[in-house]
């Protein structure tokens, strides 16, 4: 029996859409811009909000949705929205909640481009940001009255100042401010900020969540009402959507996240301890070396910094490294080095004109998955060559 053309055409498209196709162990990449409706009644039910199904990939896509649902579960909260970068997640979330005339209280030494967002675009829109030492609870308490938003990152970029996130979230609540944390460093494996009382969690998924330095992406997670506000007011209009292929790479990254973090943690702690004893090193900034971890943080990852003594030629040190590549991102399999003098050159550039405030002789390391002994030989050799 041969199939009539219509029946054949129907069979060819069967199961094309939908993350459950073929009971596959890996969700398919649903690479489509739009989804069509079987009947007009179905379309009307969907637009009336009585039926939930994908319509158009700017506002929803099944592969992206699988990633969002997993992130909400991992962050122990209701819902999440994927973004095409960590900065899109940060700016989209902040813009959903602040208005001209508002004030933001921000812990000092947040991710430099978040800092520049506050000091350029938001400043132009009459949103003022004040910076406080996040370890100084009385200072945060004093800065909060009247603030719309408390912006957190723990540990902070470069200086690695680690905070009592629960205590900071409680202060925000007392003053009626929304709290938002950048959780890229710890990931939900080591810190679930919503369980500590924080309202919203953002990630650069380009770092540990992706984990292989092959995707730029971001995500925000939080309670339904807050996520609905971002989904309603920001996501469709700014149009900053996560692509299905990127979401699929992130789903792959998530599967090995806990195991990768264990390896980053062990190797970074070992290197940090050895650096602390090295004669050319004056200080190591690693949350795991400064006594007990703050409450709510259950582990450490691969990114930290140290300060070199005057006897070390920092450019020669960086250039003598082989396993550590010179580069700014982190969270992948590869080890990376970047000296603070790069942030100073950038701060003098046309688009920032802002000194981020990193100590001059600071060097940041990301400890990848090459193994502590190999990485230590590389560092020891570079110290010897540059001293
Ligand atoms: C990289 C990074 C970001 C920005 O993320 P992108 O994905 O590069 O936009 C935000 N916060 C932290 C802590 C980061 O390291």
CATH number at residue 281: 3.90.1150.10
> Per-residue confidence at 47, pLDDT binned at 50, 70, 90?
very high
**Domain boundary pick from 215, 239, 254:** 254
Instruction: Check pocket membership of 218 for ligand 1, CB cut-off 6 A.
Output: yes
Most confident residue range from 15-19, 22-26, 233-237 = 233-237
Q: Are 222 and 106 spatial neighbours (Cβ–Cβ below 8 Å)?
A: no
Q: Is the pLDDT of residue 16 over 60?
A: no
* The predicted structure's pLDDT at residue 15: 47
Same domain, 241 and 329: no
Q: Which domain holds residue 262?
A: 256-386
Instruction: Say whether both 210 and 158 belong to one domain.
Output: yes
- Report the CATH number at residue 144: 3.40.640.10
Considering only CA atoms, which of 252, 194, 184 is closest in space to residue 75? 194
Give the list of residues 6+ apart from residue 183 with CB closer than 8 angstroms, or none: 75, 191, 193, 201, 202, 203
Same-domain check for residues 68 and 144: yes
- Kindly state whether residues 79 and 137 are assigned to the same domain: yes
Q: Whose CA is nearest to atom 8 of ligand 1?
A: 86
pLDDT band at residue 22 under the 50/70/90 scheme: confident
- The whole-number pLDDT of residue 263 equals 98
Same domain, 244 and 270: no
| 104: phi then psi, degrees, rounded to nearest 5 | -110, 135
Lowest mean pLDDT among 233-237, 274-278, 313-317, 354-358: 354-358
Q: Which range, of 62-71, 153-162, 251-260, 349-358, averages the lowest pLDDT?
A: 349-358
Does the pLDDT at position 133 exceed 90? Answer: yes
∠ CA 298-329-295, nearest 5°, is 15
Flag the least confident range among 7-21, 22-36, 130-144, 251-265.
7-21
Q: pLDDT, tens digit, for every residue of 167-189?
A: 999 999 999 999 999 999 999 99
Per-residue CA distances from 41 to 37, 53, 178 (Å): 9, 14, 40
Are 189 and 136 part of one and the same domain? yes
HSE, side-chain direction, 13 A CA sphere, residue 236: 9
- Same domain, yes or no: 222 and 308: no
Q: Output the six-digit token pair for 20.
A: 């459950």
288 neighbors 300 (Cβ within 8 angstroms): yes
First CA to last CA distance, the chain: 83
Contact 274, 256 (CB under 8 A): no
- 35 pLDDT tier (thresholds 50, 70, 90): very high
Instruction: Name which of 316, 305, 304, 264 is nearest 282 in CA terms.
Output: 305
Mean pLDDT of 210-229: 98
Quote the number of domains for the chain. Answer: 2
What does the pLDDT look like over 323-370, one tens digit per residue?
Answer: 999 999 899 999 999 999 888 777 655 444 455 678 889 999 999 999
Q: Averaged over 132-138, what is the pLDDT?
A: 96
User: Are 46 and 177 in a shared domain?
Assistant: yes
* b/e 134-165 (16+ beta carbons within 10 angstroms → b): bbebeebbebbeebbbbbbbbbbbbbbbbbbb
Q: What pLDDT is recorded for position 344?
A: 75
Same domain, 235 and 289: no
Residues 162, 289 within the same domain:
no
Ligand 1 atom nearest to 157, measured from its CA? 13
Q: Is 84 in the pocket of ligand 1 (CB under 6 A)?
A: no
Tell me how far apart the alpha carbons of residues 387 and 188 are, in angstroms, rounded to a whole number: 40
Run of H or E including 203? strand 200-204
Distance, CA 311 to ligand 1 centroid (Å)?
32
Q: Which of 169, 182, 208, 216 is nearest to 93 (CA)?
A: 182
Instruction: Based on the fold, state whether residues 201 and 270 are members of the same structural domain.
Output: no
- Domain boundary (254, 283, 312) is at 254
Strands (DSSP E) along 63-138, which ranges? 79-83, 103-107, 128-132
Place of tokens 């209280």: 105
Please give the DSSP secondary-structure letter assigned to residue 194.
G
CB of 215 shorter than 6 A to ligand 1: no
pLDDT band at 137 (very low <50, low <70, confident <90, very high): very high
Of the candidate ranges 28-32, 62-66, 248-252, 351-355, the one whose mean pLDDT is the lowest:
351-355
- Model-level pTM? 0.93
Distance 333 CA to ligand 1 centre (A): 17
Q: Residues 40, 182: one domain?
A: yes
- Report the distance separating Cα 154 and Cα 96, nearest Å: 22
Q: Is 82 in the pocket of ligand 1 (CB under 6 A)?
A: no
- The Cα 272–Cα 269 span in angstroms is 5
Write down the mean pLDDT value for the chain: 93
- Give the mean model confidence (pLDDT) for residues 67-89: 96
Closest CA to 159 of 359, 310, 13: 359
Domain boundary among the residues 254, 285, 313 is at 254
């Amino acid at each position: 029996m041969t199939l009539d053309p219509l029946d054949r055409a129907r069979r060819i498209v069967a199961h094309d859409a939908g993350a459950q196709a073929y009971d596959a162990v890996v969700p398919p990449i649903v690479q489509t811009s739009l989804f069509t409706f079987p009947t007009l009644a179905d379309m009307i039910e969907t637009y009336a909000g009585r039926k939930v199904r994908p319509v158009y990939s700017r506002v929803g896509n099944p592969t992206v949705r699988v990633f969002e649902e997993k992130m909400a579960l991992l962050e122990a909260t209701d819902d999440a929205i994927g973004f095409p970068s960590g900065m899109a997640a940060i700016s989209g979330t902040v813009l959903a909640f602040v208005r001209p005339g508002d004030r933001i209280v921000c812990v000092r030494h947040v991710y430099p481009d978040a800092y520049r967002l506050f000091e350029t675009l938001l400043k132009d829109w009459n949103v003022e940001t004040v910076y406080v030492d996040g370890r100084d609870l009385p200072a945060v308490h004093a800065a909060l009255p009247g603030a719309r938003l408390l912006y957190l990152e723990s540990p902070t970029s470069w200086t690695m100042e680690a905070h009592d996130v629960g205590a900071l979230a409680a202060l925000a609540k007392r003053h009626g401010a929304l709290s938002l944390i950048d959780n890229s460093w710890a990931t939900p494996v080591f810190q679930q900020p919503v369980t500590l009382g924080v309202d919203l969690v953002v990630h650069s998924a380009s770092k540990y969540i992706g984990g292989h330095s092959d995707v730029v992406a971001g995500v925000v997670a939080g309670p339904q009402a807050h996520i609905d506000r971002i989904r309603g007011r920001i996501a469709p209009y700014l149009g900053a959507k996560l692509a299905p292929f990127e979401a699929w790479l992130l789903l792959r990254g998530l599967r090995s996240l806990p195991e990768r973090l264990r390896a980053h943690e062990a190797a970074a702690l070992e290197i940090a301890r050895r650096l602390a004893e090295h004669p050319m090193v004056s200080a190591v900034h690693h949350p795991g070396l400064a006594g007990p971890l703050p409450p709510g943080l259950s582990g450490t990852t691969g990114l930290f910094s140290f300060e070199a003594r005057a006897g070390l030629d920092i450019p020669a040190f960086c250039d003598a490294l082989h396993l550590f590549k010179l580069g700014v991102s982190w969270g992948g399999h590869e080890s990376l080095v970047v000296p603070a003098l790069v942030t100073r050159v950038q701060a003098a550039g046309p688009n920032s004109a802002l000194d981020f405030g990193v100590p001059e002789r600071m060097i940041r390391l990301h400890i990848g998955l090459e193994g502590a002994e190999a990485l230590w030989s590389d560092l020891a050799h570079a110290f010897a060559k540059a001293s």
